[in-house]
Amino acid sequence: MALRDHLIDIEPLRSSRDFRAIFIARVVSLFGLGMATVGLYDQVYTLTGSSFGVATTSIIMSITVLTGSLWGGWMADRTDRRTLIICARGAAALAFAGLAVNAYLPDPSLWVIYLCVAWDGLATGVSVTALMAVAPTLVRPDQLPAAGALISLTGEIGSIAAPFLGGVLLATTGGPGPVFAFAAVSTAVTTVLITRVRPLPPVADDGDGDGTKDSGSPLVAFRYAVRNRVIGSLLLLGGVNAVFSLPTVVFPELVDTRFGGSKVVLGLLYTAPAIGAVLVSATSGWLSRTRRPGQTLLAAGLTGGLATVGFALSGQVWVAALALAVCGAAGTVYEILEYALVQHNTPDRLRGRIVGVLTAQGTTGGVAGDAEAAAVARWYGPGGAVLLGGAVCAAAAVLVALCVPALRRATLPAPGERPDPAGTDPGEPVAARSPDERGAPVAGG
């Protein structure tokens, strides 16, 4: 296999103007949001002098993102997704503008900050869910792994670079006002970019496969996920990983008790997973050609769990950093293939609600996972908390592999291959499905 076959596949950016606009909008938005988060936490800590105030901000954001994700998934299946994204990003720009105005006041109000954070969380939950739901309609089915890799790469780079740039801007300008203003402007730019995407109306309701009409209820998507072994097992495994995967909340205690309390080591441990993730995303071209994406996904889940166990047992810094890099790399492989398999196996008319559940999993799972790890660490120490999480994730991957053969056998369209009907129950007549569900090429893709 040639070297270029291993590099990240940028064909979705070349072939789809709409996906290109969505991608650029996402990059700009991620940098604005990442920089604003640094300014936000710094301002709240300055006003309150307490980590509890910062934690309250994070909790408000988590709850509202969860609410926005579920509501946004429901709306994404009932209205034009482009319009929904534009409205959500416009609302987020107003929230950042409110934070900027409040920051420039002589006496900034903490309640205004919390209100703007809640507003932005709702808008972010809606827009993220709608963006995830709309991406498969903008690229060919065989390009889904490549699209997932591009989305993953921008997320990882943004998580590394944006907070650093936010800290630099915060230090050079002397306050959070310019940081929030930059976030407001960048979010407004993303709103304009989304207007270049063609209208994306919801797919006509052809029923949910058993002769009944889709009422639009989230329960319809839940019923579909239960019937579809691939989607159901991915949601189950994703929930386990969201709660028990690498608990970064115990890193400071682990460094203090095992690695001498070095702040440099702490920074290295937080950075190592992102380094592994970026390396995999940048060399993810092979994922588009894997013949058994389901098996590869399960192997990645098992590898990530075992690497987490290795990190828990490590006694040297370089071993710990290497194990964390493997965790990040395995997690990225898992995320790319999960994205592709979920999108390929979900009908377009249910995609918003299914993606909404996935987004909600990530939001609530992180909070629940931090609480679980902190509780276990009180009794068994930080190493015990990490060890338990890694063991649970590895065991879950093995159990799903053994109990759900449909996921092991799951496939994706090969490059240039006309895909088989996807996202429907095996017994549903092909003629009853919408064009997108039959795998027909989508305009603009």
List pLDDT tens digits, range 1-18.
454 556 777 888 888 888
What is residue 433's predicted lDDT score, i.e. its pLDDT?
Answer: 35
- Rounded to an integer, the average pLDDT of 377-389 is 90
**Average pLDDT for 421-429:** 38
Whole-prediction pTM? 0.71
Q: Which CATH class is domain 216-428?
A: mainly alpha
306: confidence class by pLDDT, cuts 50, 70, 90: very high
Most confident of 8-17, 335-344, 381-390: 381-390
The amino acid present at 255, given as its one-letter code, is V
Residues in the chain, overall count: 445
Mean pLDDT of 351-364: 78
Q: List Cβ neighbours of 399 (8 Å cut-off, separation of 6 or more).
A: none
Average pLDDT, the chain: 81
Round to whole Å and give the CA distance between 32 and 97: 12
Q: Indicate where the chain has its CATH 1.20.1250.20 domain(s).
A: 1-198, 216-428
Please check whether the domain covering 1-198 is classified as CATH 3.20.20.140: no
pLDDT score of 52 more than 60: yes
Residue 382 pLDDT exceeds 50: yes
276-298 pLDDT tens trace: 988 888 888 778 778 889 999 99
Work out the pLDDT band at 402, boundaries 50, 70, 90. Answer: very high
pLDDT the model gives residue 423? 41
Tokens linked to 262: 């070095």
Q: How far apart are CA 338 and CA 237, in angstroms?
A: 10
Q: How far apart are the first and last CA of the chain?
A: 27
pLDDT in tens, 132-156: 778 777 888 778 888 888 887 777 7
